[in-house]
Structure 1
Amino acid sequence: MSLDQHALYDARLELVNFLIDAFADVPSESFVETICSADVLLPDESVGGELDRGFAALETFIEESRSRDVAAVQNDLEREFTQLFIGPRPPILPHETYYREDTDFRGAGLAKVEASYGAAGWSPPDDYPEENDYVAVELAFLQYLIRQQRAGYEETVGYQRVFHEEHLSEWIPALADDIRDRTDEQFYEAVASILKGDVAFEGEIAMQMA
């Protein structure tokens, strides 16, 4: 594997890891401290529309937050995460079966998502508090497929392409748009754009590699 390929896999994993952390649960102080640290490196050059938009928003958030107390920033993000995704009566339910019109929320469509996991030999981690069609769980599956590709398991490219076509592309763009419409918090505006851009980017990679 060339250095460029190694760098691409590293970048792909960094993006999906960030998104998993952003959605898995209420942001912790350690997560906020990591995001706002001097070690965070954002691309110097353009990488594409939605990703550029997301990175620009994230850079603004980081610049504005570095002079603030970490606990205060964490408190703001926790409040916004709770209002958006937990409620009571949250305006956004980041589950595939909620966004799809061809299945009931947490209904039969959930089994189809789980079947995609099983076909690739993957089981969701036990520590996720949500159902298996939750955005962070589907991103964890994507993370697994990328790691398998990096290890040389070429068949996982096909699993990724099918999962993108049958699942991710069917609801992630709408979820990202809803988050941007509902939040005034710079961080979650950034997360929404990076999510939408990364899923599109991964879909292109899967098609090219297949």
Structure 2
Amino acid sequence: MDDNAVYEARLELVDFVIEVFHDTPDEAFIERLLTGEVAMPGEAVNDHLDAGFEELRQFIEQNEGRDPAEVENELAKEYTRIMVGPRPDVLPHETFYRDDTDFISEGLADVEASFGAAGWSPPEEYGEENDHVAVEFAFLRFLIERQRTGMEETIGFERVFLDEHLLTWLGEFADHLNEETDEPLFLAAAHIAVGTAAFEDEIIAQLL
């Protein structure tokens, strides 16, 4: 696989996590999944990515031939139940899972400091606190895009962000989500989030 293909694969993984978790997955995204427009690897990558793509295949099989709008409505109900509330079971925020900080407390400033050090500001359309999984993956996307243009300093920024943030909580988040829902699309995205962080960890280790 050439460098461009590797960058495309990295960005597609990140984008999948963002699409599923930044809000209720929308009809257009669901239609792309159900019509086979989202590529899946043909061979094993790592345990979490493999598990995630297996859940995704299950989601596609369960919903094959259905109206994407109907699927969207069902996903919206489940997304709201488990991650919005009024009393959500799962909060997809780093500071909810970290033992060394309180939810949306001083740990949030640490996340934002990583963004600022790399010269990035979160997109306003996400509407979530900056330690939300979709926001953190949007930052990861920014770093990967900059690496693609030759900005080598972003490799170091990603190394720190993986070690101090993403790798510290995504596994527990995925385990928690697995306990609270049977929806394969959400389970797929949780596994793919963990697997992508592990995949990035390996890539960055090679680049440094």
Give TM class, smaller chain: over 0.9
Between the aligned partners of 2:134 and 2:186, the Cα distance in structure 1 is 15
Question: Which secondary structure does the structure 2 equivalent of 1:127 belong to?
Answer: helix
Question: Which secondary structure does the structure 2 equivalent of 1:192 belong to?
Answer: helix
Fraction of identical pairs, as percent: 53
Matched with 1:116 is: 114
TM-score (norm 2): 0.96
Between the aligned partners of 1:190 and 1:209, the Cα distance in structure 2 is 28
Deviation at 1:128, TM superposition (A): 1.4
TM-score (norm 1): 0.95
Aligned residues: 208
Between the aligned partners of 2:171 and 2:203, the Cα distance in structure 1 is 17
From 180, 183, 186, the counterpart of 1:182: 180
Paired residues for 1:39-188 under 5 Å: 39-188=37-186
Output the aligned Cα RMSD: 1.1
Deviation at 1:103, TM superposition (A): 1.2
Question: Which secondary structure does the structure 2 equivalent of 1:106 belong to?
Answer: coil
Runs of 5+ unmatched residues, structure 2: none
Deviation string for 1:108-160 (max 9, x for gaps)? Answer: 11111100000001111111111111110000000000000001001100000
Deviation string for 1:28-66 (max 9, x for gaps)? Answer: 111211221232221111112111111111012112212
Matched with 2:202 is: 204
Q: Which runs of 4+ in 1 moved over 6 A?
A: none
Runs of 5+ unmatched residues, structure 1: none
Between the aligned partners of 2:36 and 2:116, the Cα distance in structure 1 is 40
